[in-house]
Structure 1
Amino acid sequence: MADVSQVSKDKVRSNAAGARVVPGRQPSLVRRVFLSLAVVSTVASLVVMVLATSIYQSTALGDTGRMLDAEAALIQSMLDGNEHDADKLAGMSLGDMRVTLVEPDGTVVYDNQGNVDDMPNHETRPEIAEALETGSGSAERESATVGRVSIYRALRLDDGSVVRVSVDRDGALAAISHDLLAVALIVAVVVLACWVVARFVTDRIMRPVLSIDSANPDPNSSYRELCPLLQRISDQMDVLKDADLMRREFTANVTHELKTPLSSISAASELIRDGIARPSDVPEFAGRIYDEARHMTDLVNDILILSKLDESERSRDRDLVGKPEPVDLNQRLLEVCARLAPVADSADVTLECSGDPVIVRGNPRLLDELAYNLCDNAIRYNRKGGSVTGWVGLVDGAPVLRVSDTGVGIPADMQRKVFERFFRVDSSRARQTGGTGLGLAIVKHAAAYHGAKIRLESQVGVGTTITVLFPKGSLVNL
């Protein structure tokens, strides 16, 4: 995808959260793949080499032991088991094999690679002791300093003396140390190969990723492992599109809502300014200006409330709209009804509120807005001689606020839209009554802030009941 590949070329970019991204400081996929391959390959090579050397040494030592068994048996057959055996051994061509002749008491009488006068008694040597006891003996001893292994085989002669043959072979560590240069070369070749493979593999991996269209990511268009990420990106793109569409609609609606009262204010004030309005008409024009200004004030206040609620939901910081505290829902409802009593009287609507004290943890202002907008809407969309009933109480142990009216009702196909911003069931009626079209949107967000659910029941020509069900956890027992 073009804009993703461009990131690698840009020196500095800003991410969606506003944080500055410096590509030079970001982890490199090539480097990570290279390090992983290099470490695994180097360790594997060393382990294989050590194992192979150990196996080879074990096999070599076994072959050497069998060779010494044969040599010892051959030499035994050539000796007579008397005082002339040392002379016979001195006349043999033994190569690099060491031959030692030891009397029954452990005294060394012949050694083709050492001075017998300087040698200690060999009676306690494992292979000698074993041969004296059973007729044959074997042993292997490793030098701690030179890393070599001495292999011994001993056979008892007829006179009780013992002939011992031995050879020295490199141990595993010595064999490895002899090949350090080769080992270093192998490791260097492995590391270089890993670098080449890492570059190649990373390029092959990233090629289909970079070809993804960020504007329209298709979850089946790349690796299976990327499907969840691409699906989330696709969902986020849809959310962003919806948010952008909502923003555009909201801006258009706000512009429209402000344009009408501003036009009315401008026209009325112009008539007064130019002296066209008769003195008897000035109070009417002033009243119109006052009503339209109040309508704009209400609209701006509602927009500010929604803006704070949107920011709170987006940042998941509930404290942006104020700290939660214990609030008596019933007291809030009664106060709202008292404020709206003159409005209800002027609309010829009976307003009654009742209930029991119910303390919830919430935001006082939002709960006031919630109750006010529910009751205000119920009055606005009512009929002459109708009624509005508000109630607060507990249902199955959960706090509930319910507002019912005997108004015009809401058609079934519109009931899902009434909580949208600026949606009106009857636009002309809303204009006459001065509604902003944001009341139920504020109710929806205020309920969401408190974790409450909204239930709408309505029938055209009969009335509407809106119930706000708060979670049991919001109940405060004082």
Structure 2
Amino acid sequence: MRKRIYMNMCALSCAILVVISIFVLFLFSNINHIMMKNQMESEAGDIAAALEHMEGEKVPLYLKQIADANVSRITLVEKEGTVLFDTKEKASEMGNHHARPEIREALKNGKSFDIRYSKTLRKQTYYATQRLSSGEVLRIAYVSKSLLALIISLAPYYFIVFALSVVLSLVVAWKMSNTIIEPINNIDIHNPETNFRYK
């Protein structure tokens, strides 16, 4: 009986730990998405507002300075989909972007936010776009690890915490099983009137 109680409590503790870990990971992922969305939409709005007062060679120079100051990729797309400027690739070598979901939504609604996943690279790319008064679309892109990649990278630390938690749960389960079983073992079935009342 002691062993059964002990094993059941250990299994319950491990199950609770796994459920909590999964919940925390998904909660962290959702919070990260919300924070990224707010940050990138704000950044796109600020850059778009500055571009409204610029023209000619000032535009690519300004975008290059902005790109050098952070890790985001910045792209300026004509309303027909032709890429005018990109901080990572030569605009002339890039294909037409009119069919891109984030570009089409920005042309229609004025702005957009999208997330695309790459299973092969285990990465996700965030896109925030803002339509300018000229009809051009400013796009900001940021690449980060996917949830799967994050789990894999955190796996060593997770297993350490999991192992420590299992050891702790084993100790607690052992003490609790003793607390439950000891009064039962001390019962004298031949002299029940002398037994300590179990509460």
Equivalent residue number for residue 107 of structure 2:
132
Task: Give the alignment partner of residue 207 of structure 1, picking from 174, 182, 190.
Answer: 182
Contact 1:86 1:101 (C-alpha < 8 Å) held by counterparts: no
Equivalent residue number for residue 76 of structure 1:
48
Contact 2:124 2:145 (C-alpha < 8 Å) held by counterparts: yes
The alpha-carbon deviation at position 66 of structure 1 amounts to 1.1
Distance 1:30 1:182 in 2: 33
Equivalent residue number for residue 178 of structure 1:
153
Larger radius of gyration: 1
Cα gap change, 1:115 to 1:56, in 2 (>3 Å): same
Contact 1:68 1:153 (C-alpha < 8 Å) held by counterparts: yes
Contact 1:102 1:162 (C-alpha < 8 Å) held by counterparts: yes
Distance 1:142 1:170 in 2: 9
Distance 1:58 1:112 in 2: 28
Letter in 1 for 2:60: A
Letter in 2 for 1:205: I
Residues 237-273 of structure 1 show CA distances to partners (whole Å, capped at 9, x for unaligned) of: xxxxxxxxxxxxxxxxxxxxxxxxxxxxxxxxxxxxx
Contact 2:2 2:181 (C-alpha < 8 Å) held by counterparts: no
Cα gap change, 1:114 to 1:39, in 2 (>3 Å): farther
The alpha-carbon deviation at position 111 of structure 1 amounts to 1.4
Equivalent residue number for residue 121 of structure 2:
146
Cα gap change, 1:171 to 1:30, in 2 (>3 Å): farther
Confirm whether residue 86 of structure 1 aligns to residue 60 of structure 2: yes
SS of structure 2 residue aligned to 1:179: helix
Residues 159-184 of structure 1 show CA distances to partners (whole Å, capped at 9, x for unaligned) of: 21111112123333222222111211
Letter in 1 for 2:36: T
The alpha-carbon deviation at position 202 of structure 1 amounts to 2.5
SS of structure 1 residue aligned to 2:158: helix
The alpha-carbon deviation at position 87 of structure 1 amounts to 3.8
Cα gap change, 1:43 to 1:206, in 2 (>3 Å): closer
The alpha-carbon deviation at position 103 of structure 1 amounts to 1.1
Q: TM-score, normalised by structure 2?
A: 0.85
Confirm whether residue 189 of structure 1 aligns to residue 161 of structure 2: no
Letter in 2 for 1:39: A
1:434-473 alignment to 2 at 5 Å?
Answer: none
The alpha-carbon deviation at position 193 of structure 1 amounts to 1.8
Contact 1:34 1:194 (C-alpha < 8 Å) held by counterparts: no
Residues 327-382 of structure 1 show CA distances to partners (whole Å, capped at 9, x for unaligned) of: xxxxxxxxxxxxxxxxxxxxxxxxxxxxxxxxxxxxxxxxxxxxxxxxxxxxxxxx
Equivalent residue number for residue 70 of structure 2:
95
Confirm whether residue 54 of structure 1 aligns to residue 26 of structure 2: yes
The alpha-carbon deviation at position 137 of structure 1 amounts to 1.8
The alpha-carbon deviation at position 41 of structure 1 amounts to 1.5
Distance 1:115 1:219 in 2: 92
Confirm whether residue 120 of structure 1 aligns to residue 92 of structure 2: no
Confirm whether residue 155 of structure 1 aligns to residue 130 of structure 2: yes
Cα gap change, 1:206 to 1:40, in 2 (>3 Å): closer
Residues 17-73 of structure 1 show CA distances to partners (whole Å, capped at 9, x for unaligned) of: xxxxxxxxxxxx343233222222222112112211221221122111111112111
SS of structure 1 residue aligned to 2:192: coil
Letter in 2 for 1:47: V
Distance 2:152 2:34 in 1: 21
The alpha-carbon deviation at position 203 of structure 1 amounts to 2.2
Q: TM-score, normalised by structure 1?
A: 0.38
Distance 1:37 1:119 in 2: 60
Distance 2:132 2:79 in 1: 10
SS of structure 2 residue aligned to 1:183: helix
Identity percentage of aligned residues = 27
Contact 1:212 1:222 (C-alpha < 8 Å) held by counterparts: no
The alpha-carbon deviation at position 219 of structure 1 amounts to 9.8
Contact 2:187 2:195 (C-alpha < 8 Å) held by counterparts: no
Distance 1:187 1:125 in 2: 43
Equivalent residue number for residue 167 of structure 1:
142
Contact 1:209 1:222 (C-alpha < 8 Å) held by counterparts: no
Task: Give the alignment partner of residue 5 of structure 2, picking from 10, 21, 33.
Answer: 33
Residues 278-304 of structure 1 show CA distances to partners (whole Å, capped at 9, x for unaligned) of: xxxxxxxxxxxxxxxxxxxxxxxxxxx
Equivalent residue number for residue 447 of structure 1:
none
The alpha-carbon deviation at position 146 of structure 1 amounts to 3.4
Aligned residues: 196
The alpha-carbon deviation at position 106 of structure 1 amounts to 0.9
In structure 1, stretches of 5+ residues that fail to align are 1-28, 225-478
The alpha-carbon deviation at position 83 of structure 1 amounts to 4.6
The alpha-carbon deviation at position 145 of structure 1 amounts to 2.8
Cα gap change, 1:189 to 1:159, in 2 (>3 Å): same
